């Protein structure tokens, strides 16, 4: 898919140095087309957030990409010069973080935090930047945006803070947004408002969104396509309508069976069968061995030259 | 088991102070207002509501972690509304709290065995350290963890495992009433399903009265017999789960239910 805004191919990532780094991502393939919301679903430890952080260049210091490409509109983010990449991040590629409580700097006013990105990436001076920030807050349906600009994060509710973070993400007309569990910390009623806002903003601008979450319910409501990840491997990928109507992979089906539904109280909840999980991990470790063999073979050919 | 009549709670609003110079008593903020609630043995009641609705405050007041400022609180036929701590202390063993965040509610510098032995020791239910650890191992088995975990540290456990330790600690003294505050909200669906199954089993086997605080109505529907919907510190609606979920009478309850994203594609839900 060359016209995709985001095209991840064969992405491998491992943590730790030395002879045996711990593999986290094991050949992730994933593409997000313009105007598409792509849900990346998995349980904690599956590597879903790490995919988003690789795109954003926000991997922890101990993590290393050991293979694959991450292309933004045909340009490999991992291969481009740092300065070029930094110019994209926060501007054309933006993040909506999980926790609205910690994502904003508590000692700066909202105005400063919204205008930072406008001054840095668009080169606006303080006054026009503030004017633009006010428009952005109005666009995310914050009442009295002028007053909110002068407030500190602790004066705002969780929902309001998440709106501010969405405003910051959309500030420079991004092509691609990585949304990492953006509604997990919110009440269901506020969650629905935020999802609606996100969908409206995204629809208007044709933004591509990589939506990272563990919540199948949220995915079904906002995503066009879905990828299910476990142990750093994409197990199943497809249109949301198909996956929710007829999940193909046993793990996806197990996720559904473990999710409580108030409309189906008679259905017993089934934790994911341990046998399935150990089978999946065995596959993942086998993939690691194949990968290690391939690396060794590559090194041998290089040495032979 | 536990009965609340017209229970009210008001706490000083530390954000604002009376008087122009920052002196004087801060004004009172009403947290709970006229709550009537009854939970019987072997019964589980879900407390639901949005953040700030008072569900955690109510849970804590039921266990007398807060002293109510209005109404009456009766535990096993005894009025505990205004009991002072020394009089309350022997009752504490019968009423336990399971905290939302097992990461911060387990002492990071104590081994699991000591964490579980602590309440046993505090109430004189052990004969020395060896016996305490033996009981701790039995408790771990009861919640589906290997007894060998007594020697581990909290940071060596996963979130789901830590939550099981939280549950083991709460049932260590064989309580009659347990308040569980959002204990599955930080967990994956898989660990969540396991913890819910464990709670249902404990409730059945030990005849516990369970107050289950949650913002997730689907979880409440699966686990609880009755549900109490709170808003702004008042009970908006109350009834059996079967009745309330099938036919909510209050607009607010209907709103809450409609906002739950069920895992199925519903075009237009987002704008509904």
Query: What's the pLDDT at B20?
Result: 54
Give the separation between CA B212 and CA B219, rounded to whole angstroms: 10
Distance in Å from the first CA to the final CA of chain B: 42
Interior angle at CA B205, CA B201 and CA B206, nearest 5: 115
Mean pLDDT rounded to a whole number for chain B: 91
Strand partners, A132: none
Does the beta-carbon distance from A221 to B196 stay under 8 Å?
no
pLDDT at B93: 94
SS (H, E, C) A58-117: CCCCCEEEEEEEEEECCEECCCCCHHHHHHHECCCEEEECCCCCCCCCCCCCHHHHHHHH
Decide if pLDDT at B119 tops 70.
Answer: yes
Side by side, the strands of the sheet bearing A75-76 are: A22-32, A6-15, A63-72, A75-76
Total CB pairs under 8 A between chain A and B: 113
The answer to whether the Cβ–Cβ distance between A215 and B269 falls below 8 Å is no
Angstrom distance (rounded) from CA A26 to CA A28: 6
Distance CA B176, CA B158 (A): 28
Q: Is the pLDDT of residue B26 over 80?
A: no
Going edge to edge, which strands form the sheet with B28-39? Answer: B28-39, B2-12, B70-75, B78-79
Residue B102 has pLDDT above 80, yes or no: no
In the block, tokens 């979920």 appear at B245
Q: Which pLDDT value is given to residue B16?
A: 59
Q: With an 8 Å Cβ cutoff, are A260 and B270 in contact?
A: no
Per-residue pLDDT 10s for chain A (305 aa) are: 458 999 999 999 999 877 788 999 999 999 999 999 999 999 988 999 999 999 999 999 999 999 999 999 999 999 999 999 999 999 999 999 987 778 999 999 999 999 999 999 999 999 999 999 999 999 999 999 999 999 999 999 989 999 999 999 999 999 999 999 999 888 899 999 999 999 999 999 999 999 999 999 999 999 999 999 999 999 999 999 999 999 999 999 999 999 999 999 888 788 899 999 999 999 999 999 988 888 788 878 777 65
Residue B15 has pLDDT above 70, yes or no: no
- Among A260, A263, A266, A276, which would you mutate to test the B interface (most chain B Cβ atoms within 10 Å of its Cβ)? A260
How, if at all, do strands B44-48 and B209-213 pair?
parallel
**Residue B160 pLDDT class (50, 70, 90 cuts):** confident
**Cβ-based contacts of A195 with chain B (< 8 Å):** 261, 270
CA distance B272 to B265: 14
Residues 6+ apart with CB under 8 A from A200: none
On whether the CB atoms of residues B237 and B251 are closer than 8 A, the answer is no
Q: Are the Cβ atoms of B262 and A219 closer than 8 angstroms? A: no
Residue of A nearest to B221 (CA): A262
Q: pLDDT at position B35, please?
A: 97
Convert B213-252 to b/e letters by CB count within 10 Å (16 or more is b): bbbbbbbbbbbbbbbbbbbebebbbbbebeebbeebeeeb
What pLDDT is stored for residue B24 in this prediction? 67
The chain A residues in contact with chain B (CB within 8 A) are 43-44, 158, 187-192, 195-196, 199, 214-222, 240-241, 244-245, 254-256, 258-263, 265, 269-272
Q: How far is A133 from chain B (nearest CA, A)?
A: 26
pTM: 0.90
Please state which of the ranges A27-31, B10-14, B224-228 shows the lowest mean pLDDT. Answer: B10-14
Return the pLDDT at B21.
Answer: 58
- In tens, the pLDDT along B165-205 reads 999 999 999 999 999 999 988 788 888 888 999 999 998 89
By CA distance, what is B265's nearest residue in A? A220
Taking an 8 Å cut-off on Cβ atoms, the answer to whether B259 and A191 are in contact is yes
Q: Which pLDDT tens digit goes with each residue over B234-256?
A: 999 999 999 999 999 999 999 99
In Å, what is the CA distance from A56 to each residue of A52, A59, A181, B143? 6, 8, 15, 41
Distance from CA of A149 to the nearest CA of B (A): 21
| Residues B35-80 pLDDT 10s | 999 999 999 999 999 988 999 999 999 999 999 999 999 999 999 9
Neighbours of B194 (CB within 10 A): 23
Residues of B in contact with A261 (CB under 8 A): 218, 221, 262-263
Token pair for A59: 């991997």
pLDDT at B25 over 80: no
CA B101, B103, B106, B107 torsion-angle sign: negative
Q: How many angstroms separate the CA of residue B223 from the nearest CA in chain A?
A: 9
Q: Which two tokens stand for residue B258?
A: 């409609």
Of B159, B218, B255, the CB nearest to A260: B218
Q: Which residues of B touch A188 (CB under 8 A)?
A: 50, 215, 217, 256, 259-261
């Amino acid at each position: 898919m060359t016209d995709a805004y985001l095209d991840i191919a064969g992405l491998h990532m491992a943590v730790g140095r030395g002879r045996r780094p711990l593999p986290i991502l094991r050949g992730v393939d994933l593409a997000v087309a313009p105007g598409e919301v792509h849900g990346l679903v998995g349980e904690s430890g599956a590597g879903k957030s790490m995919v988003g952080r690789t795109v954003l260049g926000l991997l922890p210091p101990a993590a290393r990409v050991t293979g694959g490409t991450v292309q933004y509109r045909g340009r490999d983010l991992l291969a481009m010069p740092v300065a070029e990449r930094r110019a994209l991040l926060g501007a054309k590629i933006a993040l909506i973080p999980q926790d609205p409580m910690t994502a904003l700097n508590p000692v700066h006013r909202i105005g400063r935090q919204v205008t930072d990105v406008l001054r840095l990436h668009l080169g606006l001076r303080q006054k026009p930047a503030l004017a633009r920030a006010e428009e952005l807050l109005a666009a995310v349906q914050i009442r009295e945006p002028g007053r909110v600009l002068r407030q500190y994060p602790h004066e705002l509710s969780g929902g309001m803070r998440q709106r501010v973070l969405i405003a910051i993400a959309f500030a420079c007309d991004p092509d691609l947004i990585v949304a990492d569990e953006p509604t997990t910390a919110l009440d269901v009623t506020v969650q629905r408002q935020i999802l609606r806002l996100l969908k409206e903003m995204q629809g208007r601008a044709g933004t591509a969104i990589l939506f990272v979450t563990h919540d199948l319910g949220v995915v079904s409501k906002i995503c066009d396509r879905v990828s299910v990840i476990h142990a750093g491997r994409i197990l199943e990928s497809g249109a949301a309508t198909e996956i929710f109507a007829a999940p193909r992979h046993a793990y996806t089906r197990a996720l559904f069976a473990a999710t409580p539904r108030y409309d189906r109280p008679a259905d017993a909840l089934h934790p994911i069968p341990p046998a399935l999980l150990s089978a999946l991990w065995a596959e993942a470790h086998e993939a690691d061995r194949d990968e290690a063999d391939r690396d060794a073979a590559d090194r041998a050919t290089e040495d032979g030259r | 088991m536990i009965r609340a009549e017209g229970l009210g709670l008001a706490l000083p609003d530390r954000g604002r102070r009376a008087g122009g110079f920052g002196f004087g008593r801060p004004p009172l903020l009403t947290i709970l207002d006229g709550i009537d609630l009854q939970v019987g043995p072997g019964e589980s009641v879900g407390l639901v509501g949005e953040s700030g609705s008072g569900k955690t405050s109510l849970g804590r007041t039921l266990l007398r972690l807060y002293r109510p400022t209005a109404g009456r609180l009766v535990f096993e036929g005894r009025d505990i509304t205004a009991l002072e701590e020394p009089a309350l202390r022997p009752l504490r063993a019968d009423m336990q709290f399971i905290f939302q965040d097992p990461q911060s509610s387990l002492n990071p510098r104590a081994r699991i065995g000591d964490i579980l032995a602590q309440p046993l020791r505090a109430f004189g239910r052990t004969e020395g350290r060896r016996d305490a650890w033996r009981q701790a191992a039995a408790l771990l088995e009861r919640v589906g963890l290997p007894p060998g975990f007594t020697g581990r540290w909290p940071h060596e456990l996963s979130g789901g495992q830590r939550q099981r330790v939280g549950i083991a600690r709460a049932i260590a003294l064989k309580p009659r009433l347990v308040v569980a505050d959002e204990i599955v909200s930080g967990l994956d669906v898989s660990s969540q399903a396991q913890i819910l199954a464990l709670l249902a089993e404990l409730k059945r086997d030990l005849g516990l009265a369970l107050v289950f605080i949650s913002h997730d109505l689907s979880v409440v529907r699966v686990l609880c017999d009755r549900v109490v919907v709170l808003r702004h510190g008042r009970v908006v609606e109350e009834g059996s789960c079967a009745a309330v979920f099938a036919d909510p009478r209050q607009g607010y309850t209907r709103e809450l239910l409609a906002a739950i994203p069920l895992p199925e594609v519903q075009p237009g839900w987002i704008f509904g």
